[in-house]
Chain A
Amino acid sequence: MSQVPADLKYTRSHEWVRRLADGRLEIGITDHAQHALGDLVFVDVPEAGRALEAGAACAVVESVKAASDVYAPLTGTVVESNADLATSPEAINEDCYGKGWMIRIESADAAGFDGLLDAAAYAAVLAAEGG
């Protein structure tokens, strides 16, 4: 059974969003996603300053068996990306909600944030997918 922390928001495409104390949003991929991909060997994250559009591909995660796009959950601007992932992509497998975070963004997309799934709704999506 995949971990779905109660304090995060989620997308149907298996990204998670955490609101930080300073109002910025931290984004990564879920436990279900990292498990489905298998051992990650490469992560390509956008650099600070990149403008993101909700629903558009913004990062790539590559495992030994597949490469997948990560979609921006919200419209906004990247302020920081996790540089450690370049040398340690396995951080996402080991701790996807912690040291495996991918980007931190600034976003004025309040409606978009409200539209994200809460933990119960995301768990229901996983249950429906058989995960």
Chain B
Amino acid sequence: MPFIPHTEDDVREMLATIGAASLDELFDEIPQSLRIQGLDGIPTGLSEMEVGRLMSERARLDGRPLSFLGAGAYEHHIPSAVWAITTRGEFYSAYTPYQAEASQGTLQLIYEYQTMISSLTGMEVSNASLYDGGSAVAEAALMAVRAHRKSKSLRVIIPSTVNPNYRRVALSTAGNQGLRFETVPYLRESGCLDLSALESFANQDIAALVIQQPNFFGQLEDVDALTDWAHANGMLVIAVVNPTSLALLKPPGLWGAKGADICVGEGQPLGVPLSSGGPYFGFMTTRMEYVRSMPGRIVGRTVDLDGKHGYTLTLQAREQHIRRGKATSNICTNQGLLMTAATIYMTLLGPQGLERVAEASMQRTAELVQALTAIKGVRSAFAGPRFHEAVVQLDRPAAAVLAELEQGGILGGVDLANDYPELGSALLVSATETKTCEDIERYARSMSLALQAVRAA
């Protein structure tokens, strides 16, 4: 469906119909103090040729580094067909169409996406996607408070093993809507949530417990015990998961005796390239009993008068165009294009393909940890099972070592100094199926040299 902006004539005709003489008159109820007087910070336009040149110069500055970064966004191989199909004109929009039912192909694709994500997470119902992993966690916290039938509590436990960026987004989004977040420390040996510290919240009136699996450090939490503990204490369980990992790990719908109540995560690993932090997309699934508390759009399948299958937006009474200020969320449109890519990625790989990606990534990370910890001055921070990410501690400052590595074209990991100062000099590293044995050897050699250089300096 093409986007056609209105012409000067259209604007004049609309103003005449309303009875306003000018655009200024139309908006005159907005006080002058609230209006922007000019856009001084925005430079004048550039031609397409100038923009092309500027951007290729900037791209050159990035170089083609060998990246071992993770921390929420992961470099995976994306089959060429994914974006060749996604960028077809029929799909090329970020939005759910305004005349949704006129775009049956788009609705069918969203329906397929919802089916795949529900199946992957082991939950009953999915929405049509959210903005990203962080905003999905914030929306899940708000939803849990709304959906809890027995408690009116605005408190949610979000442990320190949850991605610090997600915690910040949840606080800035939901904190301003009255939610209060409690934190719980992790065990220094395992990097997992401290169950005995959690006990201090037993029998308190709390709406939900957030559990990230694998957690921010890449370690595997005891999700069954945590889920059962939360349910025994009257809390809902919000699962935050990596979609790739679900090819190997137990889906949240099967955690503990009753399963998680809401499941969210970052969808980027499913066919979305790394790109300066986004755009990515968030996913959210839940149980059918909570569907009316879920934010976002939902596509349903139905039959028309002739009994033929068709697709339609459903349960719209939750949404802001109907429910106004009491809508479940102000989210209406979504990351449609990224969700489209993810659907095609999952279709092309299939369950076996995704399992091979997950197994290879887990294997590569294990090899990476082995190679790095064989170096003098590098040790693994945590024992116990992990997925495709790990924390290593260095005997020299991480920032200096990372700067040395970058000189050699390697992005060596995420420095945890700001978010986890108690770990000392620590790096969060990840290797996916995109890294070869040679890549890992090259990183280990460079790490050894970088540490020597920092020691000598």
* Residues of chain A having any CB pair with chain B under 8 Å: 42, 44, 47, 62-63, 65-67, 69
- In whole angstroms, what is the CA distance A63 to B149 when docked? 21
B149–A67 CB distance below 8 A: no
B318: Cβ under 8 A from any A Cβ: yes
Residues 126-165 of B, flagged 1 when their CB comes within 8 A of A and 0 if not, give 0000000000000000000000011000000000000000
User: Chain B binding site: helix, strand, loop or mixed by DSSP?
Assistant: helix
A44–B292 CB distance below 8 A: yes
Interface set, chain B 327-382, CB cutoff 8 A to A: none
Q: Which residues of B contact A44 (CB under 8 A)?
A: 292
Q: Which residues of A contact B318 (CB under 8 A)?
A: 67
Q: Which residues of A contact B317 (CB under 8 A)?
A: 42, 62-63, 65-67
A38 to chain B, nearest CB (A): 11
- In whole angstroms, what is the CA distance A5 to B198 when docked? 56
B292–A69 CB distance below 8 A: no
- In whole angstroms, what is the CA distance A44 to B328 when docked? 14
- In whole angstroms, what is the CA distance A65 to B318 when docked? 11
Q: Which residue of B149, B322, B323 contacts A47 across the interface (Cβ within 8 Å)?
A: B149
- In whole angstroms, what is the CA distance A65 to B150 when docked? 29
- Between A47, A66, A67, the greatest number of chain B beta carbons within 10 A of the residue's beta carbon is seen for A67
- In whole angstroms, what is the CA distance A66 to B315 when docked? 10
| Chain A residue nearest in CB terms to B318 | A67
Q: Which residues of A contact B150 (CB under 8 A)?
A: 47
Q: Which residues of A contact B323 (CB under 8 A)?
A: 67
B326: Cβ under 8 A from any A Cβ: yes
Could you jot down 17 A-B contacts, CB within 8 Å? Answer: A42-B292, A42-B317, A44-B292, A47-B149, A47-B150, A62-B292, A62-B317, A63-B317, A65-B317, A65-B322, A66-B317, A66-B322, A67-B317, A67-B318, A67-B322, A67-B323, A69-B326
Q: Which residues of A contact B292 (CB under 8 A)?
A: 42, 44, 62
| Chain A residue nearest in CB terms to B291 | A42
- In whole angstroms, what is the CA distance A69 to B323 when docked? 10
B125 to chain A, nearest CB (A): 15
- Give the size category of B's interface with A: under 10
Q: Which residues of A contact B326 (CB under 8 A)?
A: 69
- In whole angstroms, what is the CA distance A44 to B149 when docked? 10
Given contacts A42-B292, A65-B317, A67-B318, 14 further A-B contacts (CB under 8 A): A42-B317, A44-B292, A47-B149, A47-B150, A62-B292, A62-B317, A63-B317, A65-B322, A66-B317, A66-B322, A67-B317, A67-B322, A67-B323, A69-B326
Q: Which residues of B contact A47 (CB under 8 A)?
A: 149-150
- In whole angstroms, what is the CA distance A62 to B315 when docked? 9
| Chain A residue nearest in CB terms to B327 | A67
| Chain A residue nearest in CB terms to B319 | A67
Q: Which residues of B contact A63 (CB under 8 A)?
A: 317
| Chain A residue nearest in CB terms to B149 | A47
Q: Which residues of B contact A66 (CB under 8 A)?
A: 317, 322
- In whole angstroms, what is the CA distance A69 to B322 when docked? 12
A16 to chain B, nearest CB (A): 23
- In whole angstroms, what is the CA distance A63 to B322 when docked? 11
- In whole angstroms, what is the CA distance A62 to B149 when docked? 18
- In whole angstroms, what is the CA distance A44 to B292 when docked? 10
Q: Which residues of A contact B149 (CB under 8 A)?
A: 47
A60 to chain B, nearest CB (A): 9
- In whole angstroms, what is the CA distance A61 to B30 when docked? 35
A43 to chain B, nearest CB (A): 11
Q: Which residues of B contact A42 (CB under 8 A)?
A: 292, 317
Residues 368-400 of B, flagged 1 when their CB comes within 8 A of A and 0 if not, give 000000000000000000000000000000000
Q: Which residues of B contact A65 (CB under 8 A)?
A: 317, 322
- Between B317, B322, B326, the greatest number of chain A beta carbons within 10 A of the residue's beta carbon is seen for B317
Residues 285-324 of B, flagged 1 when their CB comes within 8 A of A and 0 if not, give 0000000100000000000000000000000011000110
| Chain B residue nearest in CB terms to A64 | B317
B365 to chain A, nearest CB (A): 46
A68 to chain B, nearest CB (A): 9
Q: What 10 A-B pairs come out closest when comparing CB atoms?
A: A67-B317, A62-B317, A67-B323, A66-B322, A67-B322, A66-B317, A42-B292, A47-B149, A69-B326, A67-B318
- In whole angstroms, what is the CA distance A33 to B126 when docked? 32
Q: Which residues of B contact A62 (CB under 8 A)?
A: 292, 317
- In whole angstroms, what is the CA distance A127 to B150 when docked? 41
- In whole angstroms, what is the CA distance A57 to B318 when docked? 16
Q: Which residues of A contact B322 (CB under 8 A)?
A: 65-67
- In whole angstroms, what is the CA distance A92 to B17 when docked? 42
- In whole angstroms, what is the CA distance A63 to B315 when docked? 10
- In whole angstroms, what is the CA distance A69 to B325 when docked? 12
- In whole angstroms, what is the CA distance A26 to B323 when docked? 27
B153 to chain A, nearest CB (A): 15
| Chain A residue nearest in CB terms to B293 | A44
- In whole angstroms, what is the CA distance A67 to B320 when docked? 11
A67 to chain B, nearest CB (A): 4
Q: Which residues of B contact A69 (CB under 8 A)?
A: 326
- In whole angstroms, what is the CA distance A36 to B149 when docked? 28
A86 to chain B, nearest CB (A): 10
| Chain B residue nearest in CB terms to A67 | B317
Q: Which residues of B contact A67 (CB under 8 A)?
A: 317-318, 322-323
